Amino acid sequence: MADTVFRGVFALELAGGQAPGRAALSQEEAGTLAVAVGRDLARLVPDVASLDLVLAAAHFDPAEALRPGWSLHRRLEELHMRAPGRKQGPRVVAFGTDADGDVPLPLQADPALTGGGLRVLPFILAGEPQTLAVVAGALEESLLPQGMAGADTALLAQDGFRARIEHARYLSAHDLAAMMAMQYDNQGLSALWNLIEAALLAPGSEEWLDAGPEPLLRLADGEARMALFDPAGWCAHYHGGTPGEGECERLQRLYELFLARQRQLAAVLEAHGIPVLYVHANGQQDARALLSQAA
């Protein structure tokens, strides 16, 4: 089934990784920025101007934009449905702080995911399905190679968020996913990305991470199940039995590294909105069978 919206992000690469001074723009600033974003996109693909543009003038960690069900963009779809002016021609709709200057709940970023060098503002395009399909295809081809924001748009974002921005550009949600895949590959997390990508693009699928010495993981029904081994169970699963005399100290260090790796993988999955359930396993049980039974 074709998507009913085009999902994109306005990506801000921060100079020196310095966090922006503001979480979101005022409503007036948000509207000004959204008009500039719409103009930039229409320069690349003129038919953008015939669609509704909906922008969240609040910045998020990229992982928040890459969660099952595209939850961040889904919020914009819901807000768009309630926005005034439907069927009165193309609209530019922006969301910023409320009248008291507070960030409303749909625009609140995860406080545990601050400090990264890349922040993203989600946007969607919506409208007549045939036009949307043509525009979406054109943007998927053009944003990655040509999607730098206009200098004045970047300045609006820099001043509005009180941030030092090195680069400001537009990406489709799929571009962002490809960028994250490369980043995770560089960090030795490519196998884990396969599970995250499946949760995004094939939510009904079942995927495994089963390549020792990596932690054993099963993704199903939007949840990751991870085998939690005690030292003896870990040794049985990954080393074929009980360690011989003199090996305990060496293997204990490896076991501690294994636990640290588990914590790292769980943190990445949870950043992407994928809950992690730990399933206790020991050397006398088949860990894969336990994970399969945990549904």
Report yes or no on 101 lying in a domain. Answer: yes
Q: Identify the domain boundary among 125, 150, 184.
A: 184
Give mean pLDDT, residues 46-71.
Answer: 97
Q: Are residues 144 and 223 part of one domain?
A: no
Half-sphere exposure of 142 (CA within 13 A, CB side): 16
Give the chain's domain count: 2
Highest mean pLDDT among 13-22, 23-32, 276-285: 23-32
Give mean pLDDT, residues 135-143.
Answer: 97
Q: Are residues 154 and 11 part of one domain?
A: yes
Q: Which of 108, 112, 295, 275 is nearest to 199 (CA)?
A: 275
Report yes or no on 233 lying in a domain. Answer: yes
Q: Are residues 171 and 198 part of one domain?
A: no
- Whole-angstrom Cα Rg for the chain: 22
Contacts of residue 20, Cβ cutoff 8 Å, sequence gap at least 6: 12, 14, 59, 119, 161, 162, 163
Q: What is the pLDDT of residues 254-288, one digit of tens each?
A: 889 999 999 999 999 999 999 999 998 865 567 88
Cβ 21 vs Cβ 97: under 8 Å: no
Report yes or no on 47 lying in a domain. Answer: yes
Q: What is the pLDDT of residues 86-99, one digit of tens each?
A: 777 899 999 999 98
Q: Are residues 194 and 176 part of one domain?
A: no
Predicted structure pTM score: 0.91
* pLDDT score recorded for residue 1: 42
Q: Are residues 56 and 73 part of one domain?
A: yes
* pLDDT score recorded for residue 89: 80
What's the pLDDT band for 79 if we cut at 50, 70, 90?
A: very high
Q: Identify the domain boundary among 161, 184, 207.
A: 184
Report yes or no on 261 lying in a domain. Answer: yes
Q: Which domain holds residue 211?
A: 189-293
Q: Identify the domain boundary among 159, 184, 209.
A: 184
Q: What is the pLDDT of residues 244-263, one digit of tens each?
A: 555 656 778 888 999 999 99
How far is 151 from 168, CA to CA, in rounded Å?
9
**Over 70: is that where the pLDDT of 190 sits?**
yes
